[in-house]
Structure 1
Amino acid sequence: MIKRMQGLAVALVVLSMVFWFGGCAKKVPTAPLPPPAAPKAPPATTLPPTSRPYQVLGKWYYPLPDARGFRETGIASWYGKPFHGRKTANGEIYDMYAESAAHKTLPLGTVVRVRNLLNGKEMDIRVNDRGPFVEGRIIDLSYACAQKLEVAGPGTAPVEVVAIGTTDAAAQSGKVDPNYFYTGNFTIQVGAFANRANADRLRQRLDREGYPYSHVVQGLVESGTVYRVRVSRSTSLEQAQVYQKHFRDNGFGDAFVVAE
């Protein structure tokens, strides 16, 4: 009996030591990971002139270093004869009858897809100038682009602007270089609603029909909240454009690619 009690006492001591050391092990603090080093902004003198901050009418503008993922909605306008024949911000001669656009902060050479939200018309345009510097406007189109998008008549129109690629700035040819087209996450927008219930019904319909990755994205426009229904995913613009055609051919005539 005494031996059995002694053995039990030893076992209890050993067990308590195991728990004690185990508890201590859990309490040993781990060294925190060092915070990532803050990226150093290059001195202004090392930036190309078209990428440096600039001031117009007392307001400073800061060009973006990269256009990947850029997307915005707002008012488009167009500019013509007072500027026709003058130099643009990248040194080209502005031709109002050629296809180009001006933006305040996108890198010059960016190719944007501009979509007129009133009629669904869209086109890809190269940014080669700065502007517009009128409050509330996000992009200035050349007269040629404004004509095609039906902005020239009214003078302004609500648009969606999505950066889809860039051109070879050294060549300044105005043609898109396929080697520079962005890869990333692309999806297809097939509808936009002011009522969330309508957006959910379309998403549920897409789910029933077997389309993958259908989802609703909430956003803000001038008239209020909008619920955008998007479907499908791809990692290249080329594949996304194939999906866009599929949806347009199957009852979604206003479907378009969105870079998420």
Structure 2
Amino acid sequence: MQRTLYPIILIALISLALTSCGTTERVSKPVTYPDAGAGEVIEEGVASWYGPNFHGKLTANGERYDMYGLTAAHRTLPFNTLLRVENKDNGESVVVRVNDRGPFAKNRIIDLSRKAAETIDMIGNGTAPVRLVLLEGDLENSRTTDLKTATYTVQLGSFESEAGAFELSRKIKGSRVERIPLNNQTVYRVYYGVYVDKDEAQRNLQDLRNEGFSGYVKQIEND
């Protein structure tokens, strides 16, 4: 009787190992929505939506875009900010979580998932005038200065030790060291410049590369 259990146990262990393998990516977590009546209006403008062409692709925060989930793209708000989006034409509203960057059309303030757009009845028109109500998220302590304008910087290094970061920073005139909380620890990053023009940041990065320094341009995340 005991012997017959060994193959079963072995098969179960192999199955567990196989299901544990695969590409690492962030998985969206279930969201507990706050009181729908709470919140503060932080922005008004035009909303658009995005769907099939992006379904399954990686969002800016590393999740897979699910057009059937209640998510949204915003230029500057911290990832995982919860917003109530109110359609000013019909009074319908939906709560969404920010997990992507956009929209990049100048006259729009938020890109909703297909499901969120359906909920406030804007699929047919493609756009709708909306107001954004902040339900959960800390703008006071974030880097947000202008909700409509993304800002960029050049990251030149990331260190566990403050001394290592300052050692690199001293070699690069105009650079700075910032203390960043990350996954329950602190890292020290060396940045150069703050830009609203991403192309300008790319040009300055090339100048730094010509001087022998490596790095990349990144959006300053407001979190």
- Shared fold per TM-score greater than 0.5: no
Whose radius of gyration is greater, 1 or 2?
1
Q: Which has the higher contact order (CA 8 A, sep 6+)?
A: 2
Which structure carries more helix by proportion?
1
Q: TM-score, normalised by structure 1?
A: 0.37
